[in-house]
Amino acid sequence: MKEFTTRNLTAVILILLAYIWIRFTSELVFSIVLFFIISMAAIEWVRLCRPEMHHFAVSGTAALLVAASFTFGKPELADTISLLVFLFGVYFLLRIRRVEQLATFIRDFAVHTGLVFYLFIPLYYLLRLKQLGPNYLFFLMAVIAIGDSFAYFVGSLWARYGKRIPIYPVASPKKSLQGLIAAVLFAAASAIPVLAIFPLPVARSTAVWSAAILGLLSQLSDPVESLFKRAAGRKDSGSVLPGHGGVLDRVDSYIFCAPALYALARFVWV
């Protein structure tokens, strides 16, 4: 009961803070807060990956370049990526002094690039959505939350009274095909009422199938993050959020969903 209360209290506080952050902050302030949120998730992810060769100054520089690219448009993202390839290459060239270090070079190089391509670039599309309008973010958050909630409810119900069909036996053994279908269907069903609360310039039918896509992607993004936790032998990415685990555990769904909604809004909803 205590854990349930703590979890719900944390959820309420996070929702209130997220609403204020999205609705009332400028794009610059939003970006600064987003940078620190992603950085906290990145720290947790690095600890899961446990690289032998890693320096937070190198990762921090990479993160700042990505943030600058999304926030100010300079340097452009393609130029930023090229610069980061150079930065990481030079770092390892100067860092590796013994033949034995080559044993972890490929993995450690992948950790550095993963911070950029798995976390900072996808999650910074939340800023792109903020630039389109706060309601895009509210739509994203609501659809994902509703889809995830019903996926858990239906999956748990089916596990108790029927035969649950697991789809990610290693990454997330408790996730089932029934839960996945529920996430897609209820995310789609939530689109119309969510649009009524947070209006967007999109046809209802388009919003429905877009929400279904987000429901599906959310159920894919979460178990991908779980693979890192399973590999590290951890249940949660961290413990900074009482009852909810780590920051990475809270933002993992947006890794796939934020770029997807931006692409839909920018190139399909027009």
CB 42 within 8 A of CB 81: no
d(CA 33, CA 36): 5
Nearest to 33 by CA among 98, 263, 41: 41
Give domain status of residue 64, yes or no: no
Choose between 100 and 244: higher pLDDT.
100
Q: Kindly state whether residue 53 falls inside one of the protein's structural domains.
A: no
Is the residue at 226 inside a domain? Answer: yes
Say if 170 falls within a structural domain: yes
Whether residue 245 is contained in a domain is answered as: yes
Tell me: the pLDDT tens digits for 67-98? Answer: 999 999 988 999 999 999 999 999 999 999 99
Q: Which domain holds residue 152?
A: 2-23+132-267
Establish if 88 belongs to a structural domain.
Answer: no
Q: What is the mean pLDDT of the chain?
A: 91
Q: Is residue 70 assigned to a domain?
A: no
The per-residue pLDDT for range 100-141, each reduced to its tens digit, is: 999 999 999 999 999 999 999 999 999 999 999 999 999 999
Neighbouring CB atoms inside 10 A of 113's CB total 14
Q: What is the pTM of this model?
A: 0.93
User: What confidence tier does 166 reach under pLDDT thresholds 50, 70, 90?
Assistant: confident
- CA-CA-CA-CA torsion for 13, 15, 19, 21, nearest 10 degrees? 60
Q: Is residue 222 part of a domain?
A: yes
Instruction: Kindly give, in sequence order, each residue whose CB lies less than 8 Å from that of residue 250, ignoring residues fewer than 6 positions away.
Output: 14, 241, 244
| Domains: count for the chain | 1
Report whether 40 contacts 240 (CB < 8 A).
yes
Q: How far is residue 60's CA from residue 32's CA, in Å, rounded to a whole number?
A: 14
